[in-house]
Amino acid sequence: MAPSKSPAIEVAVGTRTVRVTNPDRIYFPLLGLTKLDLVNYYLSVGPGIVNALRERPCMMHRFPTGLSGDKVHQKRVPAGAPPWLETVRVFFPRYKRYADELCVTELAEVIWAVQMSTVEFHPWNSRRADTELPDEWRIDLDPMEECPFDTVRRVAHVAHQVLDELGAIGWPKTSGGKGMHIYVRIEPAYGFTDVRRAALAFAREVERRAPAEVTTTWWRKDRDPTSLFVDYNQNARDHTMASAYSVRGFPDARVSTPIRWDEVDDVIAAELNIKTVPKRFADLGDLHAGIDDAVFSITPLLEWADRDEHDGAVDPGIAEGENPDEAGRAPH
């Protein structure tokens, strides 16, 4: 006999009411955390998650039966969404198809997505005012399988030093996995191709300063397994990463959590989870709250890219046929 379903509940979120079905369904079996626990987590970090997602096309990583079941990468908002739910239409040139993606403007939309079994939120680095002009440069410090986290810490400091020299303010966070992310707010004045070129130029500079630990080698099979890849390709069109305050679909319910620069040497990503981040948020507030006030022009980085290309450097992704203006999975 199938287990009985828990009755639906109604959750007040601002001026909205979101109906949450199966609130007792176990989403994280290792910790016994339920769908309602996930709802309550996102309510507890409401201003932070809304700030991270605001007006960005957002792919939902859904687990319809919890982490014990299949994961669904969903771009299209399904039929039957409430009329107040905001969306943005984006085009996928490679597939010649459109998708109306979730576009968060208020916390109720986040809770609606959780009701639809979303665990992770993966926004674009552009906003709906012009989805082709990114306003966020993302530095992804992605360790290879044998790379210790101490290397991630050291490289984060190198990246911070380069950003300081550029006059750019970086906003770090744990990835919720094995790495670290640094976000920089930029002028929405260039397309994805130029932002990716700028990100590659920055990655090369970090590699020059830490050549024993950092790589920009394109093919994973060609990288030293103890190295750290500065993944500039995360700035290609439709490439997304888990947002600040997004829960990750791992058994320990980790959260991709904003941190201060003075926490880099001590932070333990596994300790930042659904249970611990709400208190941290209550105590510290949103550590990324000021990001929109720290806008950087990528012009110096494009000059670095011109210099590198003049000296013979090539973008290995482009050389291998990757078009950053047509990247991404087919929408579904």
CATH of 9-123+245-287, one of 1.10.8.60, 3.90.920.10, 3.40.30.10, 2.60.40.1120: 3.90.920.10
Residue 1 confidence (pLDDT):
43
Among 230, 216, 222, which Cα is nearest to 179's?
Answer: 230
Side-chain half-sphere exposure of 123, counting CA atoms within 13 A: 31
Q: So what's the pLDDT on residue 95?
A: 81
Cα separations in angstroms, 95 against 162, 170, 171, 227, 329 = 38, 34, 34, 35, 9
Domain 136-240+292-319 has CATH 3.90.920.10: yes
CB 258 within 8 A of CB 245: yes
- Position 255, amino acid: V
pLDDT tens by residue, the chain, 332 residues: 445 578 999 999 999 999 999 999 999 999 999 999 999 999 999 999 999 999 999 999 999 999 988 999 999 999 999 999 999 999 998 888 999 999 999 999 999 999 999 999 999 999 999 999 999 999 999 999 999 999 999 999 999 999 999 999 999 999 999 999 999 999 999 999 999 999 999 999 999 999 999 999 999 999 999 999 999 999 999 999 999 999 999 999 999 999 999 999 999 999 999 999 999 999 999 999 999 999 999 999 999 999 999 999 888 766 454 555 555 555 65
Do the Cβ atoms of 128 and 77 come closer than 8 Å?
Answer: no
**Fold agreement between 9-123+245-287 and 136-240+292-319:** yes
**Count of all residues that appear for the chain in the document:** 332
- Amino acid, res. 218: W
Helix ranges (H only) for 210-264 are none
Per-residue confidence (pLDDT) for residue 134, from 0 to 100: 98
Distance CA 313, CA 214 (A): 17
For residue 142, the cross-strand partners are 229
For residue 313, the model assigns a pLDDT of 87
How far apart CA 268 and CA 251 sit, in angstroms, is 16
The stretches of the chain forming alpha helices (DSSP H) are 35-44, 46-53, 107-115, 149-166, 192-209, 277-284, 299-310, 316-319
Copy the structure tokens of residue 290: 């000021």
| Domain parsing of the chain, residue ranges | 9-123+245-287, 136-240+292-319
User: How far is Cα 59 from Cα 75, in angstroms, rounded to an integer?
Assistant: 5
The model's pTM: 0.94
Confidence (pLDDT) at 7? 92
Q: Are 62 and 118 in contact (CB under 8 A)?
A: yes
Angle at 239 between CA 48 and CA 202, to 5 degrees: 85
Buried b (16+ CB within 10 A) or exposed e, 17-48: ebebebbebbbbeeeebbbbbbbbbbbbbbeb
Of 59, 49, 198, give the one whose Cα is nearest residue 134: 198
Q: Distance of CA 285 to CAs 39, 44, 48, 89, Å? A: 19, 11, 8, 32
